[in-house]
Amino acid sequence: MGTEAAANKDQANGLRTLNKNKPVQVVAVTAGKGGVGKTNISVNLAIALSKQDKNVLLLDADLALANIDILLGIHPRKNLLDVLEQRCSLEDIIIDGPCNVKVIPSSTGTEMMANLNAQEHAGIIQAFSDLTIPIDTLIIDTAAGISETVMNFTQTAHKVLVVVCDEPTSITDAYALIKVMSHEYGIHNFEIVTNMVRNKIEGMELFHKLVRVSDRFLDVHLEHLGSVSYDDYLKKAVKHQRAVVDEYPSAKSASEFRAVAKKMLSWEVSGEMTGNMGFFMERLAKQNAADAKGTDDNEVNRE
């Protein structure tokens, strides 16, 4: 491995070993389509894990339309843009969210943040290695769709959650995202969260729809991490700028979030770099800004 590649490898490892020698579980929350519940899922899982004594860091990686702060009713004065422009360190922008969850806010409506190049992403990722606060889990709430930004963050994760709901566009777009991640980024394992379902059976059926088409056309393995019901209490909590697990702990969706979080606790934490990471580093080194947008989602429509 050349010196540059070795340096890049060290940089990316920063995300996975935030607390120096202790490996950190990195989880990216993605979806092919906007508005399917990524931010609600990120926030509620973060709080549910924190309530189970995990030190959780929540990264708002929706760099153009940050919304974790809005959802949690917190008011960051500084954000990732300040770190990128070297006005402060990453640690300076971390704020305390509910239930001890630490939040890294993004900036809203900044064109520059939406179009970071690979080097700038590497800068953000590098900044993680300097953190001294104890962290067990890093949850990354990504923007919708298949952009270079989403992929750069997603490739640093041990686990990729894909949120899907029972609408044709959500399924088609989730499939398209999984296809690009596996074909172009070497990610083959996905944890599916079925959201806004009416009941568990509907969640299972939705998951199996995605499995059927993926098994037929892709070399991937999907796990059903869990279902979250459509829940008016979740909506009510959003209006109060609170997470449902915090505001209405006995709501149906809150107990479902806790069940998903419990499953996550059983995941093995590894500080090792995976094939995905190696791939990520290669891309950083090459500054490859390939546009992944030309995805053909016709297979789903043929299904």
Residues forming contacts to ligand ATP in the complex (CB under 6 A) are 31, 34-40, 62, 144, 195-196, 228, 230-231, 234-235, 238, 253
Smallest gap from Cβ 300 to ligand ATP, in A, equals: 19
Smallest gap from Cβ 27 to ligand ATP, in A, equals: 15
What DSSP string describes 186-230? ---EEEEEEEEESSHHHHHHHHHHHHHHHHHH---EEEEEEEEE-
142 binds Mg ion (CB under 5 A): no
By beta-carbon proximity to Mg ion, the closer residue of 39 and 50 is 39
Chain-centroid distance of CA 151 in Å reads 10
Smallest gap from Cβ 257 to Mg ion, in A, equals: 16
170 binds Mg ion (CB under 5 A): no
Smallest gap from Cβ 102 to ligand ATP, in A, equals: 19
Which DSSP symbol is given to 268?
P
Radius of gyration of the chain (CA): 18
Quote the tokens at residue 58. 């929540």
39 binds Mg ion (CB under 5 A): yes
Taking CA atoms, 28 is separated from 5, 101, 134, 300, in Å, by 24, 16, 19, 24
Smallest gap from Cβ 212 to Mg ion, in A, equals: 28
42 binds Mg ion (CB under 5 A): no
From Mg ion, ligand ATP, none, which one binds at residue 66 (CB under 5 to 8 Å depending on kind)? none
Q: Given the DSSP bridges, would you call strands 137-142 and 221-229 parallel, antiparallel or unpaired?
A: unpaired
By beta-carbon proximity to ligand ATP, the closer residue of 140 and 284 is 140
Helix (H) or strand (E) holding 60: strand 56-61
Burial 106-135 (b: 16+ CB within 10 A, else e): bbbebeebbebebebbbebbbbbbebeeeb
By beta-carbon proximity to Mg ion, the closer residue of 48 and 65 is 65
**Number of amino acids touching Mg ion (CB under 5 A):** 2
By beta-carbon proximity to ligand ATP, the closer residue of 73 and 275 is 73
Helix (H) or strand (E) holding 278: helix 275-286
By beta-carbon proximity to Mg ion, the closer residue of 74 and 204 is 74
By beta-carbon proximity to Mg ion, the closer residue of 136 and 246 is 246
From Mg ion, ligand ATP, none, which one binds at residue 105 (CB under 5 to 8 Å depending on kind)? none
By beta-carbon proximity to ligand ATP, the closer residue of 29 and 124 is 29
Residue 62 φ then ψ, to 5°: -85, 85
From ligand ATP, Mg ion, none, which one binds at residue 108 (CB under 5 to 8 Å depending on kind)? none
By beta-carbon proximity to ligand ATP, the closer residue of 50 and 142 is 142
Q: Which long-range contacts (CB under 8 A, 24 or more apart) does 241-246 make?
A: 241/70, 241/71, 241/72, 241/73, 242/72, 242/73, 242/98, 243/40, 243/43, 243/44, 243/47, 243/71, 243/72, 243/98, 244/40, 244/44, 245/44, 245/47, 245/48, 245/51, 246/47, 246/98, 246/99
By Cβ distance, which residue is nearest to Mg ion?
A: 39
From Mg ion, ligand ATP, none, which one binds at residue 234 (CB under 5 to 8 Å depending on kind)? ligand ATP
Smallest gap from Cβ 230 to ligand ATP, in A, equals: 4
Smallest gap from Cβ 290 to ligand ATP, in A, equals: 23
Binding site for Mg ion (CB under 5 A): 38-39
